[in-house]
Every structure is written in structure tokens, then in C-alpha cells.
Amino acid sequence: MTANTPAGVTIKISPKAAALPLGATVQFAASVTLASNTAVTWSVVEPSGGSVTLDGLYKAPTLAGTFHVAATSVAAPSTSAQADVVVSGTTTPLGVWTNVTPANVDLTTALPCGNFGAHSIQVDPKRPSDLYADFSCQGIWKSTDFGVSWTGPINTGTNGPTINGEGGILIPSSSTTTPPVIYAANIRDPGTGFWRSTDGAVSWTKFFVSPSTAARQDFYPPADDPYDGNHLLMAGHEMNLLVESKDGGQTWTAVPTAAGMQQSGGTAWIVFVDTGVPATTAKTFLWLAQQGSAVHGTWRTEDAGATWTQVDRNEHPHGNSQLYQPGNGIIFMAGANSTLGWGVLRSTDYGRTWAHVGIAGSQANVVGTPNKVYSMYGWAIGLGQTNNPAFELSPQPGTGLWTAPGSPAGMTQGPNEIALTFDGFHYALVSANYNAGLWRYLEP
């Protein structure tokens, strides 16, 4: 670095990734920090990857592929950033669910660990074109084109095949590394226990969850602190045990729970409540009982489990739950047994109180874009069984009319989890629908 080059310059490109048809265009923007001269020069890394103007307007080539647009700081020429561009010769319809299940995945055969199909899906926060999906007994598949196509299994390195059990994966929402750190937790062999990968799901290391015994290392996938990807919570599978790690799963301690949270035979769901402040977020959790007697319900703590308060009777379906936190104290959760009504509930005070907002009926997953709030219903129903995904949506802020546009006949089971990404033009929901496979929906 020369004497005239400012130190610590960073660049961010928006959007971070984009998907577009052959010959189409997308406008990129770059923000430069710690430099008085915020100008950048634009370029396309691949010689045949299209073109970009001086002000960041990219035009795709007439051939399909994945390309990279770079922005380089004029003030600090050694500093640059890249955006991924996926150019495709096909067009995905808007507002329609499309089956994107990999052809080499088995969704119909009873396998050694049970085979509940697609049971987990995650998006890389740093590279929103990259998604990872976990399939029962079969491993992890990866997409680099916003969930359109998939390659796998990719867990082929050290201990890779060993994690092919029944469970799920997590990429911390605050992840900034490439490839991302990925956590996995399984409830059935061969990979029962907690695992971590630092090379994009290829190789894996197992860590012992010490508050439990060697015979009971079965846990649901962890929840991550949105401000600290090393801070994790996990619920024991069909045992009254909640554990916490502050070092990325290398060591664990037990989290105290209240007497009213002791549920025989159920598996709780746990999430951090994003208070907007890292220090208080680290101590504020929501705990949901598995759907049962409507007694245990939903509990909340603000002191990392020292004290708990029951805030609702809502309980999650067997096998899954997904809450949506758009910010400013607003939280959506879904389930059954709430005295306010079954389905989607909404809080405006960080989960202390709730109101029913969705269509009456069982729900499990809630996600949202700046435009709409979406909800669906799924659970671990098993091979050959069906349930109505009960797809419903509402314009933001989710307090008005909710409608049920329906789902395709082939979507015979609802999701365990829904990943949300943005391709530069449209928000894409990509869902892991158990034995119905992977599905993708582009928001109109």
C-alpha cells in the first residue's frame, strides 16, 4: 500500500447476486467506506461473461453460465468486491410453485435412517445464489443458481458420509466467510450428534454435547444468535434438555428451563429474539413446545433461562417450526393450540404478547419479503403420506387480508423449512417439503 492509499477501505455491491435471462440487464451499485473518493471501476471477470458500463449497468451474454461483476476502488485499487451473476436460457414463471428436486434424490424408499426426504434448506448470506439442502440418509446438495438446479451429494470429504442421518443444517445468518461455516445436528445414525463444517459442507467435525450423555446426542438443528454465529442454542430430541454454545459448538452448557416446560416425549423449538441490541439478543429466547396437550405452549426468557414466562399456548408441529422477525419488535410464529386461534400469530413487542393474523388452521413456517408475508404447514408425516401445505400469504405488514392461493398437486407434503433469497429482480422462496422434495416460488 502506498502512502497515498487510504487504509481499511471496503466495498459492498448491491445486489450481491443476480439471476437473469440471456442478454438481459441489471443495474449494480457499489458503496465505498473509509475513502474520500468513493468512485469505482466496473469490470466483468470472465472474458465471455457479458459487459458492464462505467456506472455499473451489466448486460448478460448470449450464453448461459455463472459470471462475476467486479467493482474496484479508485482510491485503493487493491480493494475490490464481486457479485455473482447467473445467466440462464430458461425463464421461471412468477407466482407458481415449481418442483426443483434433484433427479438423483430418493424420496420414496425406506432407507436405513428412515427417509423423511428434504428436511432442511439454507441460503448463504454472503452469496445469496448459493443454497444448501439436506436429505434424509443421503447427504447435502448445493445450488449456485438461486435454487433452480442442484448438485450432490457434496459431503464427500472427511466424515462426510457419516453425517447422512436424519436431522438438519444451519448457516448462521451473520455469516461472512466463503465458504460459510455450516452446522448440522442429527437425531438418527449414522450421524447422530452435532457437527460443524468449515469448507462448505464437504468435510465435517463432530463435537460432543456434554450436558447430555453419550447415548443421547440426538438434537434438533441449532438456532443462531443473529449477531454472533458462534452463539448457538439446541433442543434435545424428545428430551427435556436445552443447551447453549458460545464457541461454535465446541463446548456446551445446559440452559435452565421452567417446570411448565417439561414435556414428556416432545421436542421443543428454540430461537433467539432479535431485540436490535446484541447484548440483550444474546439472552432473549422464545421456546415452543411440540404440539400436544396445549398446556406447555410458548415461553420467553430475557435472562438466558434464569427465568421464563409463558406468553401463549401456541405449539409447533412435530419436526419443525420457522419464525419470521422483520425487525422493530415484530415477530411472526405459527402453529396450533393458541387460545387466540390456530395458525399465524404476530407480536409487536418482541414476543411478549401476541395477536392472531392468519387464516385459522395449523401452520408451521413463516417467512417474509418487503412485500408479503408467507406461511405454510408441514410436518414429519412420513413416506407415502400426504398433508395439505396450506400455503397462505398477506401483504406486508401481515395484519390485513390473508389469502390461500393453493399449491400444486405434486406438493403432497408441506415444508420442514423455507429458504428466502433475492436474485436481483425477484424474491425466491425455496422450500424443503419432506418426501415431496424441493420446491421454488418466485414472488411476482
pLDDT of residue 414: 98
Residue 354 lies in a domain: yes
Looking at residue 264, its pLDDT comes to: 87
Q: Is the peptide bond before 190 cis (omega within 30 degrees of 0)?
A: yes
Give domain status of residue 1, yes or no: no
Whether the per-residue pLDDT at 2 is higher than 60: the answer is no
105 and 82 share one domain: no
Domain-located, residue 223: yes
Whether residue 108 is contained in a domain is answered as yes
Q: What is the pLDDT of residue 367?
A: 98
Range of the domain at 44: 10-88
> C-alpha distances in angstroms, 114 versus 262, 315, 337, 435?
27, 25, 28, 11
Residue 224 has pLDDT above 90, yes or no: yes
DSSP string across 314-380: -BBPTT--B-EEEETTEEEEEEB--TT-SEEEEESSTTSS-EE-S-SS---EEEE-SSEEEEE----
- The pLDDT score that the predictor gives to residue 7 is 81
DSSP 8-class letter at 94: B
- Would residue 357 count as lying in a domain? yes
The cell for 298 is 410458548
For position 85, what pLDDT does the model report?
A: 96
Is the pLDDT at 3 greater than 50, yes or no?
no
Q: Which of residues 55, 88, 121 is at a domain's end?
A: 88
CA atoms of 123 and 108, how far apart (whole Å): 26
SS3 231: strand
254 and 362, same domain (yes or no)? yes
- Whether residue 208 sits in one domain with residue 73: no
Please check whether residues 116 and 84 belong to one and the same domain.
no
Q: Does 390 share its domain with 425?
A: yes
Query: Given 56, 88, 120, which residue is the final one in a domain?
Result: 88
Cβ burial of 184 (10 Å; 0-12, 13-18, 19+) is: buried
Instruction: Report the 10 Å Cβ neighbour count for 312.
Output: 23
Q: Are residues 113 and 196 in the same domain?
A: yes
Alpha helices, DSSP H, located in 204-302: 278-281
We report the CATH number of the domain holding residue 144 as: 2.120.10.30
Residues 26 and 154 in one domain: no
**Alpha carbon separation from 404 to 89, 176, 440 (Å, rounded):** 32, 36, 17
Q: Is residue 2 part of a domain?
A: no
For residue 417, name the pLDDT band (cuts at 50, 70, 90). very high
pLDDT tens across 124-183, in order? Answer: 999 999 999 999 999 999 999 999 999 999 999 999 999 999 999 999 999 999 999 999
Q: Which residues contact 63 (CB under 8 A, 6 or more apart)?
A: 22, 48, 87
Say whether both 220 and 342 belong to one domain. Answer: yes
Residues 259-281: what's their mean pLDDT? 96
Share of the chain above pLDDT 70, in %: 99
Mark which of 57, 88, 119 sits at the end of a domain. Answer: 88
Amino acid identity, residue 349?
Answer: D
Domain annotation covers residue 335: yes
Residues 55 and 151 in one domain: no
SS3 content of the chain, % helix, strand, coil (to 5): 0, 40, 60
314: its cell numbers? 401456541
314 and 338 belong to one structural domain: yes
- pLDDT at position 79: 94
Confidence of residue 1 (pLDDT cuts 50, 70, 90): very low
pLDDT of residue 23: 95
- Give the three-class secondary structure for 263: coil
The Cα 190–Cα 192 span in angstroms is: 6
Residues 223 and 311 occupy one common structural domain: yes
Our count of domains for the chain comes to 2
Is residue 265's pLDDT more than 60? Answer: yes
What percent of the chain lies above the pLDDT cut of 90? 95
pLDDT band at 5 (very low <50, low <70, confident <90, very high): low
CATH number where 60 lies: 2.60.40.1080
Cα(119)–Cα(135) distance, rounded to whole angstroms?
Answer: 6
Burial class (CB in 10 A: 0-12, 13-18, 19+), 118: buried
Tell me: the pLDDT tens digits for 66-113?
A: 999 999 999 999 999 999 999 998 888 999 999 999 999 999 999 998
**Shared domain check, 109 and 75:** no
